[in-house]
Amino acid sequence: MDVETDAVAADRAVKERHRRMWALGDYPTVAEEVIPRLGAVLVGAVGAGPGDRVLDVAAGSGNAAVAAASAGAQVVASDLTPELLTAGRAVAARRGVDLEWEQADAEALPYRDGEFDVVMSCVGVMFAPRHRVAADELLRVCRPGGRIGLLNWTPEGFLGQLLATMGPYAPAPPPGAQPPPLWGSEAHVRELLGDRVTDVVARREAVLVDRFDSAEAFRDYFKARYGPTIAVYRMIAGDPERVAALDRDLAQLARRHLHADGMRWEYLLLTARRRG
């Protein structure tokens, strides 16, 4: 087997692990119960609406894609995990909106150059391991003058800290992978997009999560429903001491962020226009 074939096989294995991870638990319920408003925030910021052909990259169950279709846009929701697309179709049917659902890798999008007026991602593309490759694809399929919209968890915010807390318990990332919360750093995203975009607007905001009345309630909810958390617990299932330690670490993290009115999960909202 030559070097190129080895690299292709390794990449295929990484993507298969990602597919299986996001199919664990019940991410569609997490999106619907915990962060239901985030998709509409992104759609409003990027201005997707009638007359726009929109691509939602790493769309999951369609938090942003369904919101864009509801706003009158022609939407394609793409994701690596077919189970999430199936859930998204059901969400769209319940809400009476039509859009396309297609399995696709954010690092190798199966679309023509400049095919979309709007290319967006809501806490999705951040989990593609090779940030530069994914950013290049976002820009490639966006037409000159089209809009890019990205909403991603910050490294310093709750979800960024959650991923960092789980890191020591998880297997080593594949070669070339970068931490997902870097997509929540304005400097990092600006560097990825470079001079290929203009009119960059970036701001940090937070979503209020009032779903959990205790730190343990958050931990147990994510242990049961959030794919990355489930995957980490499965990795250490044979070591009761490590399981107990992760239980403590997640509860302590949640306790630090839990206030009387809930938790505030910080994200970076960035919009730009592809240079013509």
pTM beyond 0.85:
yes
Token pair of 86 as six digits = 């199936």
Within a 13 Å sphere around the CA of 254, how many CA atoms are in the beta-carbon half? 22
Taking CA 192 as the corner, what is the angle to CA 189 and CA 195, rounded to the nearest 5 degrees?
A: 105
Number of domains in the chain: 1
DSSP line for 214-274: SHHHHHHHHHHH-HHHHHHHHHTTT-HHHHHHHHHHHHHHHHHH-BTTBEEEEEEEEEEEE
Residue 139 lies in a domain: yes
pLDDT tens across 195-244, in order? 999 999 999 999 999 999 999 999 999 999 999 999 999 999 999 999 99
pLDDT tens across 51-110, in order? 999 999 999 999 999 999 999 999 999 999 999 999 999 999 999 999 999 999 999 999
Residue 64 lies in a domain: yes
Identify the weakest region by mean pLDDT among 12-21, 129-138, 140-149: 12-21
Residue pair 183/126 in contact by the 8 Å Cβ criterion: yes
Q: What crossing angle do the helices spanning 215-225 and 240-257 adopt, rounded to 10°?
A: 120
Q: Which residues of 116-152 are buried (b: 16+ CB within 10 A; e: fewer)?
A: bbbbbbbbbbbbbbbbeebbbbbbbbbbeebbbbbbb
Residue 199 lies in a domain: yes
Instruction: Round to whole Å and give the CA distance between 12 and 160.
Output: 26
pLDDT tens across 9-65, in order? 888 999 999 999 999 999 999 999 999 999 999 999 999 999 999 999 999 999 999
Residue 108 lies in a domain: yes
Residue 150 lies in a domain: yes
Could you tell me the residue range of the domain that residue 141 belongs to? 3-207+267-274
Give the full edge-to-edge strand order of the sheet including 142-153.
100-103, 74-79, 53-56, 116-122, 142-153, 263-274, 197-209
Residue 8 lies in a domain: yes
Pairing of β 74-79 and β 100-103: parallel
Helix (H, G, I), strand (E, B) or coil at 191: helix
**Confidence at 7, pLDDT banded by 50, 70, 90:** confident
Radius of gyration over every alpha carbon of the chain, rounded to an integer in angstroms: 18
CATH no. for residue 94? 3.40.50.150
Residue 140 lies in a domain: yes
Residue 130 lies in a domain: yes
